[in-house]
Chains A and B, each alone.
Chain A
Amino acid sequence: MLATYAPVLIFMVISGGLGLVLLFIGLALGKGQKDPEKTSPYECGFEAFEDTRMRFDVRYYLVAILFIIFDLEIAFLFPWAISLDQVGLFGLVAMGIFLAILVVGFVYEWRKGALEWD
């Protein structure tokens, strides 16, 4: 089974190696003169006003968590689709109930306005 993943491994080795080589070339051939003016942040000629770290609206968090939930739902669908001939009608009904419960949640978040971005 693992042999089928050999192309993935080759891809990982080449892409990782290429990334390292490019970094190394830059490090080896670059002159690397660093002075305080060069390393200071540049903001259209102004001094930097404030820290880059700032508060995000909590609604981004809501979108991300709703995304995770439906991502997990999809993850449950994959093995079901593959083994559908084995689990038969019973599996179909089981998945129907599973999806119905999640649709309740979906309708709830829709009606509640969690998908709106006023």
Chain B
Amino acid sequence: MVTTLLFYAFASVLIIAAVGVIASKNPVHSALFLVLAFFESAMLWLLMEAEFLAVVLVLVYVGAVMVLFLFVVMMLDINVERMRDGYTRYLPLGLVVALVVILEIGHVIWYRSQNLPFLTVPEPNPEGYSNTRELGSVLYTEYVYAFELASVVLLLAIVAAITLTMRKRPGLKVQDVAKQVAVNRDDRVRLVKDDAGTETET
């Protein structure tokens, strides 16, 4: 009963936040609405007793991915007026995507109404059941190949990010502390004899 009420509360906030993402004029506000949407979906996952996924969603998406999104939004140097122009241009494409999503949701609801045996609602987990523990016990044994592949994908992401964004700027004056420390007197001081025969340091 309480969980049903909570589901509706979280789901309605999620929908409001999702509408806010596309409706707000300021792209930074859109990104912050997306943070709220991620947070609410984490709550929904928690209601489905997928604790680990819920916490990871907050940790990775809210904590890291949205920081990246905000950087990108700020880096794009968006002109708000110019962005409005694209509204009618991309409307047909948006309508097609919306139609596909509506059809998919309708499909799921239709499936549910068929009362197929594999679609029964699972029982709530017993006390002391750890979702994270169960996940770990299969992830590192049964699905170990996929797990190792994940590290290769992450390695690829590191290499790709560095190749795309690293650039050496020519003519940049860089301070090399090791060189500064290793310098000695002979590198810097030269003794010059002038006409009067006195030695001067230059």
Contacts and interface: CB of A to CB of B under 8 A. Distances in A.
Interface of A: 1-2, 5, 9, 53-56, 58-62, 64-69, 71-73, 75-76, 78-80, 82-84, 86-87, 90-91, 94-95, 97-99, 101-102, 104-106, 108-109, 112-114, 118
B166 A114 contact: yes
Contacts of B56: 75
If over half of A's interface residues share one DSSP class (helix, strand or loop), that class is named, otherwise mixed; here it is helix
A101 to B, nearest CB: 4
B148 A98 contact: yes
Given A53-B74, A113-B166, A2 B140 contact: no
B100 interface: no
Question: How would you classify the secondary structure of chain B's contact residues: helix, strand, loop or mixed?
Answer: helix
Contact of A83 (B47, B125, B133, B152): B133
A86 B188 CA distance: 65
B141 A90 contact: yes
B47 to A, nearest CB: 7
Interface string B32-70: 000000000000001101011000100110011101100
Contacts, number: 146
B139 A79 contact: yes
B137 to A, nearest CB: 4
Nearest to A71: B64
B49 A1 contact: yes
Interface string B164-193: 011001001010000000000000000000
A53 B77 contact: yes
B127 interface: yes
A14 B137 CA distance: 37
A87 B139 CA distance: 9
A108 to B, nearest CB: 7
